[in-house]
Amino acid sequence: MIPTYPSSGSEFGLGAVSTDERTNEFGTAYGIAADVALLVPRYSMSLDAEMTAYTGLVTLVQLSAATIEDRNPVSYEMGISVISNVLKATKTVQENPNNADARGTILYGAALSTSGWLGLGKEENYPYEIYEIEFIPEVLFGSTYRKSLTTLFPRFLEVMAQYHLDDIQAYYQDVFNFEGEISESTKRLVDIFSNFGIDMYFDGKDSSHSIDEIPIETTLKPEDLKTIISKAMRS
């Protein structure tokens, strides 16, 4: 097992992602599971403020993908609880980077996000499409996984709400206590992420016309994907 920077939960995941930057080819090998995962909060204390913020926000997004649309009330409430506590822990380490308990909460949440213990009542898998769509900025702009995932997530929710409004509204209400228009909730979530010190926009020319050439699996339409990328571009 090859761990990534401390937060993604990859050590406890069931798949190994491979990306070839020379050919822009990527894929996931499933069924590769560790017998034991050691989560050591102090290992992440050498990360700078930006990377520390990403540890929490990447974990939040991964947990959200597992929790949104979960029809099992037990695992859904568990997912909401873990997301809320990871968000609280991320705020704590922003104020006190040496808080090992808060870092441990983030690591634990990351492991749960890939464990298969959440989302037990999922009838559809559309929230997981964020993992497919995040490849687009990686290919078009050379973005990292952590930046692609967090930058696209609020815009992804906004577009997905066109098809799954009740699920997205419930998520915003249960985690952030947001009510009202989805577009407004999206702006508020972008602000929350930005306040942690991460850049929520992509630079460079909008190459969305090349999206059709990127082999991803999604229920969204090509125009939906272009909307997501366009909303995440710095104007």
In a domain, 62, yes or no: yes
Query: What's the pLDDT band for 210 if we cut at 50, 70, 90?
Result: confident
The number of distinct structural domains making up the chain is 1
In a domain, 107, yes or no: yes
In a domain, 221, yes or no: yes
**How far is residue 230 from each of residues 23, 165, 204, 223, 234, measured CA to CA in Å?**
24, 21, 11, 10, 9
Q: Read off the pLDDT of residues 37-72 as tens digits, 9 standing for 90 and up.
A: 778 888 888 889 999 999 999 999 999 999 999 999
Task: Say if residue 30's pLDDT is above 80.
Answer: no
In a domain, 100, yes or no: yes
Question: Cα angle at 7 between 225 and 177, to 5 degrees?
Answer: 60
In a domain, 115, yes or no: yes
In a domain, 80, yes or no: yes
Global pTM? 0.90
Query: What's the pLDDT band for 204 if we cut at 50, 70, 90?
Result: confident
- In one-letter notation, the amino acid at residue 23 is T
In a domain, 160, yes or no: yes
CATH number at 157 reads 1.20.1090.10
Positive/negative CA dihedral, 145, 146, 151, 154: positive
- Domain span at residue 221 reads 10-231
> What DSSP designation does 30 have?
E
Q: Pairing mode, if any, of strands 25-30 and 15-20?
A: antiparallel
E-assigned strand segments in the chain: 15-20, 25-30
In a domain, 2, yes or no: no
